[in-house]
Amino acid sequence: DAKTTQPPSMDCAEGRAANLPCNHSTISGNEYVYWYRQIHSQGPQYIIHGLKNNETNEMASLIITEDRKSSTLILPHATLRDTAVYYCIVHRGGSNYKLTFGKGTLLTVNP
């Protein structure tokens, strides 16, 4: 699976959009981009994933650049409960279905 690079930490004001970047310049054509988050003392939580097209669900939006070398997770209206470590993972899927977590980005939402 391709390696990802994320900033170690970011801050966001409550009610504003949080935009979390991820670089995955070595991604191959059949690899998906997954986002998870881990709130303190809880298990990681799946947020969203995508291959080429932008994706949106009730939690967030995922924007993938046309060359697929980077992506951005958008939390449109961040709340204090969104303070967590956010992990961007590139993964092929299929039969080799294991995810490797890096260090992620600690997002702190401030009042």
Partner 1 sequence: DAGVIQSPRHEVTEMGQEVTLRCKLISGHNSLFWYRQTMMRGLELLIYFNNNVPIDDSGMPEDRFSAKMPNASFSTLKIQPSEPRDSAVYFCASTQQGVGGYTFGSGTRLTVV
Q: How far is CA 108 from CA 39, 47, 69, 83, in A?
A: 11, 17, 25, 5
Number of residues that bind partner 1 (CB under 8 A): 19
By CB under 8 A, name the one of 8, 30, 66, 94 that touches partner 1.
Answer: 94
* DSSP conformation class of 5: B
Grouping H, G, I as helix, E, B as strand and the rest as coil, residue 57 is coil
Whichever of 14 and 93 has its CB closer to partner 1, that residue is 93
Our finding on whether 51 is near partner 1 (CB under 8 A) is no
43 binds partner 1 (CB under 8 A): yes
CA distance 24 to 88: 9
> By CB under 8 A, is residue 8 in contact with partner 1?
no
Q: Name the site residues for partner 1 (rule: CB under 8 A).
A: 34, 36, 42-47, 49, 93-95, 97-103
